[in-house]
Amino acid sequence: MTPETIYGATGIALFAIGLYHALVLPSALRRIVALNVASVGAGFVMVIAAWRPGGGADPVPHALVITGIVVLVAATAVALALVRALHDADTTETDDTP
Amino acid sequence: MIPQIDLAAIDWMLVPVLAPLLGAIAGFVLPRAATAAGMAGLGLSAVGSAAITAQVRTGAAPSTAIGGWEPPLGIVLAADGLTAAFLLLTVVLTLAIGTTRALTPAPARGAAIFWPLMLLLVAGLNGAFLSTDIFNIYVTLEVAALAAVGLAVLTGSAAALRAALNYLLAGMLGGVLILLGIGLLFHAHGRLDLAGLAAVAGSAPSDGIALIAIIAGLALKAALFPLHAWLPAAHSNAQAPVSALLSALVLKAPLYVALRLWVGVLDPATASGTVLGVMGAGAILWGSVQALRAERLKLLVAYSTVAQVGLISLAFGLSAANPAAIAWTGAVTLMLAHGLAKAAMFMAAGRIVEEVGHDRIAELDRSPRRPTLAQFSFALAAISLIGLPPTLGFAGKWQLMEGAVRADAWIWLAMAMAGTLLSVGYLSRVLVGFLRFDRVRGAVGEHQGWTLADGPPLLLAVTAFGAGLFATHIIALLAAGAPLGQLPGAMQ
Amino acid sequence: MSPPDPYLLLDLGLAATILVLALAALRQRDSFTMAVVFILFGLLVALAWVRLDAPDVALAEAAIGAGVTGALLLRTLRHVGGERRDPAPVPRVVAGMLGLSVAGFATLGGLALMATPRHGTGLIPAVAARMDQSGVEHPVTAVLLNFRAYDTLLEVVVVLAAVMAVWAIDRTIDRAAAPLPYLPGVALRGPIAGAYLRLVLPALALIGAYLVWIGAYSPGGAFQGGAVLAAAGVLSALARGGRWPRTAATMPLLRGSLVLGVVVFTGVGIWAAVAGGGVLHYPPAQAKPLILLIEASVALSIAATLTALFLGHMPQPAARIALRKGTTNDT
């Protein structure tokens, strides 16, 4: 067993946990958190791909994960803004067409 | 003395990305000049796209390693016939939609932010069409996705907000799946460039799962059945020009990327082709039945998009499952035809709503107002979508069916025919209503309900209708650089 | 067989804790606890990534993945006062089928990943061979700002697109009917808070600037530094109850800060093309100052952007805000 197998399995497991909950959880806010968990799982796979036993990791996957984190926080911010706006719309409007 | 500029020496490759990007920034910083900045950005981007197309047509195979860094480290932008076709589709659609927006007299809600968002969307889409790096493609698709969500909420209704949230969550899920696939590919092969991946794809045990993840992510973003649930609400609740952008153009980017991967990188197995075909058949049936039941015009048009994406998926599947079929160009022609026709239909539907005040299909024939030109555009576009000769839709379906016949794939042929018949069914619901307008026509001399804004949808509909006559030119452009030449069975 | 590495036990413990925290966050009933557990999860992930020799990624995850996302979650929960459940949850049978397919996908994926040897060299030699032309000493920064600068440019564009989308969403809300919440529980007011801010804000600004500058030599960079600067922006906004300053200059200044990163990045890229190298092809002699210029402007933009994403609304003219002062978001 190596750190690679341990964290590789962790990454895939996190992705699966996030994916499943993003599909079934009954609240939009929760699904957003689940997508963030899944994305961390994908990040683990890339960090594993960069890792070398003797040190001296590959910088390219590191750059990709940083980009991925920034892209995801941007999307998360938009999704959360929609959650807030829906809350405001539902509290001000009596009903709307489904 | 005019300084001599050598046009051939200019590197046009980044112009279709950077021009709309700068237009978006100018429009964002100076909201009062947003329309001018937006049209300027689109215009400059059109010049770049036309220049790239001209280079492709001469067989130049233009490409640029950004920053001078060659792959596998750097990112290369490249163009072939397929790229050029989609760059041109983007030019035609965005200029038409942008002109409509600029001509609409009373600016709708969110007028200022529309332009920067639309230009960022164009930058993202053009970036995806030009890129040859899998991670770079992911980032461009995310630019387009967030801009599209911003556009989708502009109507301001709670229904639009809810639809946009589901749209965004589906897009984020698709993005995360693509990211996992990229991680697995890099782990096994240590590279991200499509050309390099093409040489090694399939050699590692994890490649299968990586490509399933990427294709599933793209299918989610392209609303391929059964991953389509987010589409009808998102597309029907947006403003008409936005619906046109989302349905006609934004969906095409993930389909385009999937086509690139499918033809250029993957080793398409028969089973996966059949899966795509089954998904396509499901989409045709589901989308058509929902379109037959839809009570509102825009919702009908949105469900028709689900069915049409299914038809395109069917063409993908046919080509992958039956190497003899060679229906790839048919699939691409269908994508172009759907882009033109669907944009015309949504914009015409938007004009009808503006004039009549609603889009309830059952009551459209009882209106005293008669938006003649919008109805005419809608009808022309519908004829192209159904695929009657001489439309571009006909050219696409002809190639698809010819491929199916050549491969003795009768079930596929039957599915394509069924899709056509169903589209006749749901579109004639609308067209019959248009024809019955005369029964309750208003008094003579009343405003006939047409404005300058009817021009762009009419132009698009005429293009979709007439482009079939130039199908040989379009197919010749698609063949430039042989993007679809690496067919299964004739692997490179 | 060599004796087991004691570090492996640490790894196993850390991996197990991360998985438990992820599940705990998602299955936690209380929304507020969920957000806190999610932040803790992000910090432990960062620790694991330090262990895997990815300090830059760990910094980004801690600052952005845990910090910014956590702040956004808490801010949203404050606004909506708890989660709203979907009217039609996923039926149990469908959830079960989805669970099975996800489990199958994960098992296949895990096995395939284990069966696949890591690519021997990756891009390590490609990066190492070109470091002397990159203009910086830190490989990750060289990749982000030079070798794959186009990705990074588009990444900054994504963040800008997010602000535009959030402002488009903000426009849809009738603020007369649904006034901005005052963020009462987190507002920093009073003399003690004032003294605290006078101490913390300069410190955050200094740390942020240091992270940006050090990125050229060692872990750090524009995004991590920008996130720290954003913390300063958010804190000073919270001192005003979560509002933008009510001056006429706020909007133009803010718009300028939001686009600064993209403008400088694109400007340098185009300048390089005009200078004869090609877009984003910096002359090696000027690469370092150009990269520092880009990093500084991107960091400022990221700080402004993250602050704007946190507040979630556009700056409003003073007259319109005055009408709504003192309103809360009770529902």
Domain total of chain A: 1
Determine the pLDDT at residue B487: 38
Q: How far is the C-alpha of C122 from the C-alpha of B358, rounded, in Å?
A: 58
What is the full per-residue pLDDT of chain C (331 aa) written as tens digits?
556 677 889 999 999 999 999 999 999 889 999 999 999 999 999 999 999 999 999 999 999 999 999 999 999 998 888 787 877 888 999 999 999 999 999 999 999 999 999 998 999 999 999 999 999 999 999 999 999 999 999 999 999 999 999 999 998 887 777 777 666 545 566 777 778 888 889 999 999 999 999 988 888 899 999 999 999 998 888 887 788 888 888 999 999 999 999 999 999 999 998 887 888 999 988 999 999 999 999 999 999 999 999 999 888 765 554 444 444 443 3
Structure tokens at C257: 């800060």
Nearest CA in chain A to C43: A40
Contact B145 A15 (CB under 8 A): no
Task: Quickly state the pLDDT bin for B328 (edges 50, 70, 90).
Answer: confident
Per CB-CB distance under 8 Å, the chain B contacts of C118 are 187-188
> Which value, in Å, is the radius of gyration of the alpha carbons in chain C?
23
pLDDT in tens, B176-213: 999 999 999 999 999 999 999 988 888 889 998 999 99
Which residues 6+ apart lie within 8 Å of B70 measured at CB? B76
Does any domain span residue A98? no
Cα of first residue to Cα of last residue in chain C, in angstroms, is: 65
Helix-strand-coil percent breakdown of chain C, rounded to 5?
Answer: 75, 0, 25
Determine the pLDDT at residue B438: 55
Phi, psi (degrees; rounded to nearest 5) at C90: -65, 130
- Report whether C144 contacts A66 (CB < 8 A): yes
Does any domain span residue A80? yes
- Report whether C59 contacts C140 (CB < 8 A): no
CA distances from B2 to B5, B11, B51, C158 (A): 9, 21, 21, 39
Domain ranges of chain C: 138-331
Determine the pLDDT at residue B486: 44
Average pLDDT, rounded, for chain B: 88
Looking at the complex, report in whole angstroms how far the Cα of residue B315 sits from the nearest Cα belonging to chain C.
Answer: 27
CA dihedral B445, B446, B451, B457 (to 10 degrees): -100
**Which among B210, B14, B28, B46 is positioned nearest to C150, based on CA atoms?**
B14
pLDDT in tens, B39-65: 999 999 999 999 999 999 998 889 999
Phi, psi (degrees; rounded to nearest 5) at B77: -100, 135
Determine the pLDDT at residue C324: 47
Subunits in contact with chain B (3 or more CB pairs closer than 8 Å): A, C
A97 CB within 8 Å of a chain C CB: no
Contact A86 B169 (CB under 8 A): no
- Report whether C146 contacts C134 (CB < 8 A): yes
Phi, psi (degrees; rounded to nearest 5) at B63: -155, 155
Contact C172 B72 (CB under 8 A): no
Looking at the complex, report in whole angstroms how far the Cα of residue B70 sits from the nearest Cα belonging to chain A.
Answer: 14
Per CB-CB distance under 8 Å, the chain B contacts of A72 are 172, 175-176
Q: How far is the C-alpha of C246 from the C-alpha of C199, rounded, in Å?
A: 24
Q: How far is the C-alpha of A55 from the C-alpha of C217, rounded, in Å?
A: 18
CA distances from C18 to A2, A15, C37, C55, C108 (A): 17, 12, 10, 18, 21
pLDDT(B11) > 90: no
Per CB-CB distance under 8 Å, the chain B contacts of A30 are none
Determine the pLDDT at residue A95: 45
Contact C76 A80 (CB under 8 A): yes
Task: Cite the DSSP H helix spans in C239-314.
Answer: 250-274, 287-311
C29 CB within 8 Å of a chain A CB: no
pLDDT(A98) > 50: no
Does any domain span residue A69? yes
Best probe of the A interface among B168, B179, B186, by most A CBs < 10 A, is B179
A49 CB within 8 Å of a chain B CB: yes
pLDDT in tens, B335-394: 999 999 999 999 999 988 888 888 888 888 767 677 888 889 999 999 999 999 889 999
Contact C147 B153 (CB under 8 A): no
Best probe of the A interface among C52, C68, C116, C217, by most A CBs < 10 A, is C52
Q: How far is the C-alpha of B192 from the C-alpha of B492, rounded, in Å?
A: 19
Best probe of the A interface among C39, C92, C102, by most A CBs < 10 A, is C102
Structure tokens at C138: 């830190």
Phi, psi (degrees; rounded to nearest 5) at C317: -60, 145
Q: How far is the C-alpha of C140 from the C-alpha of C146, rounded, in Å?
A: 10
- Domain with A65 in it: what CATH number? 1.10.287
Does any domain span residue A97? no
Beta bridge partners of B65: B76
Contact A33 C110 (CB under 8 A): no
CA distances from C147 to B1, B67, C236 (A): 40, 7, 36
Does any domain span residue A83? yes
Three-class DSSP category at B213: helix
Determine the pLDDT at residue B201: 83
Segments forming the whole domain that contains residue A57? 3-92
Looking at the complex, report in whole angstroms how far the Cα of residue B472 sits from the nearest Cα belonging to chain C.
Answer: 36
Q: H/E/C letters for each residue in B445-472?
A: CCCCCCCHHHHHHHHHHHHHHHHHHHHH
Contact C54 A14 (CB under 8 A): no
Peptide bond into C55 cis (omega under 30): no
Determine the pLDDT at residue B213: 95
What is this model's ipTM?
0.95
C198 CB within 8 Å of a chain A CB: no
- Segment 8-27 of chain A within 8 Å of chain C by CB: 8-10, 12-21, 23-27
pLDDT(A96) > 60: no
CA distances from C71 to C38, C310, C325 (A): 11, 8, 24
Nearest CA in chain B to A67: B139
pLDDT(B236) > 60: yes
Amino acid at C264: V
Q: How far is the C-alpha of C186 from the C-alpha of B126, rounded, in Å?
A: 43
Structure tokens at A56: 């001296």
Beta bridge partners of C227: none
